[in-house]
Amino acid sequence: MKKTFIIAEIGNTHEGSLGLAKCFVKAAANSGADAVKFQTHIFGAESLPDAPNPPYFKDETRKEYFERTAFAPEQYKELKKNAEEEHGVEFISSPFSLEAVDLLEKIGIKRYKIPSGEITNIPLLEKVADTKKPVLLSSGMSTWNELDRAIETLKENRCHDITILQCTSIYPCPPEKTGLNVISELKKRYNLPVGFSDHTLGFSASIGAIVLGAEVIEKHFTLSRRMYGADAEHSLDPDEFKLLVKEIRDAEKAIYSKIDKDELAKELNEMKIIFEKCIVAKRNIPKGTAITLDMIAFKKPGNGIRADRYREVLGRITRIDIKPNTKIKKEMLE
C-alpha cells in the first residue's frame, strides 16, 4: 500500500536553541512524522541589510531574527544525527543561499527542499541539482512559466528525482485558496510526483490532497502555538499532528485497499438477513387463492423469500391457509 511521506515543518521555531530543536524532533517523531524540516538561513548570504521585513516580523528585524536563530555547521550535524540515528526521522532543510547548500552538503543531507521564494533563484537550483540528490520543489508563489523554468533547470543539471509541492504562500491559508485543483494539473504537466505543503489550520486540505494523489504532505509543527515566531500560531501541536498522521494513514487504507464486492457481501450475510426484507402475508390468505400484490408485504428479516423475488410469488396458488405476518415459503405454494 502506498505510504504518504509526512514532513513536520519546524523551520526556525526552535529559537536557535539546539536543545529545543531536539525536543521538536523527538515530539515530531513521536507524533508519527517521517521527516523533520528546518531552514538554513545565512543572513549575509541571502539578504541585504536593509531588505524589507515580511509583515510577521514585528518585534525584531529579519536580520536580528535569522542571526539569533542560526545554527553553526557542527550544530546542524548534531541535529541531523539526533533526528536520523536517535529518532528514525529524516532530517531535511531548506537552503536560502548558495552558502547554505555548501553547509548542508558538509553535514551530508539526503534531500533538499526548495522553498517557494527560491523558485526563480536559478543559481541555487543549479547548485542543488549538481548534488544529484532528491528535491522537494515548493510552488507557493510561482507562475506556471517560473515553475516550468525551475523544473527545466533541475533536469538540465541532471536532477530527475523531483517532487513538486502544491502550496499557497498565505499564512494561514483559507481552504478556498489551497489550490488542490492544481495537483492534477501538476501531475499531467510534468509527469512527476506531487505533494502538498499545507498552510491551512486544519486537516481537511491534507486529506483532500491525498485523495487527489499527493505523495508528500508537509505541515507546520510546533510544541505550542504560544511560542514566539512567525510560524508557531499557524502550526499543529504534537497531539494535533499525531491526529493528522492517523487521519492520513486511515485515508491511505480507504483509498488504496481494494475490496471484492461479492466477497465482502458474503462476509456481511448476517447483516443482510437482519436488514433486508422478505415476503410475508399482508392479510389472511385462504388455501387455493392465487396470490396478488395486495395480499403481500415486505418485512424484516430477510431470511424468507427475498423481496426482489416477489414476481415469482404472484399468481401462485396457496396450498394452505396463510395468516397475516407469516413468511411465505415455497412449500406453501403450488
In tens, the pLDDT along 89-135 reads 999 999 999 999 999 999 999 999 999 999 999 999 999 999 999 99
CATH pick for 263-332 out of 3.90.1210.10, 2.40.30.30, 1.10.1660.10, 3.40.1410.10: 3.90.1210.10
pLDDT at 171: 83
- pLDDT, residue 233, reads 66
Place of cell 450475510: 269
Which span out of 154-158, 228-232, 234-238 was modeled with the highest average pLDDT?
154-158
> What is the rounded average pLDDT for all residues in the chain?
92
In tens, the pLDDT along 275-307 reads: 999 999 999 999 999 999 999 999 999 999 999
Task: Round to whole Å and give the CA distance between 116 and 37.
Answer: 14
Backbone angles phi, psi at 105, to 5 degrees: -65, -35
Mean pLDDT of 301-329: 96
pLDDT bracket for residue 231 (50, 70, 90): low
Cβ(176)–Cβ(170) under 8 Å? no
Question: How far apart (Å, rounded) are the C-alpha atoms in residues 319 and 328?
Answer: 11
Cα separation, 60 vs 139, in Å, equals 28
| CATH fold match for the domains 5-256 and 263-332 | no
Tell me how far apart the alpha carbons of residues 252 and 41 are, in angstroms, rounded to a whole number.
35
Distance CA 11, CA 221 (A): 9
Percent of the chain beyond pLDDT 70?
Answer: 96
What is the per-residue pLDDT for 52? 79
pLDDT at 2: 81
Least confident range from 19-33, 101-115, 253-267, 319-333: namely 253-267
- Domain chopping of the chain, boundaries: 5-256, 263-332
Mean pLDDT (whole number) for 193-205: 93
Chain segment 50-88, per-residue pLDDT in tens: 887 776 666 778 888 888 888 999 999 999 999 999 999
CATH topology of domain 5-256: TIM Barrel (3.20.20)
> H or E segment at 195?
strand 194-198
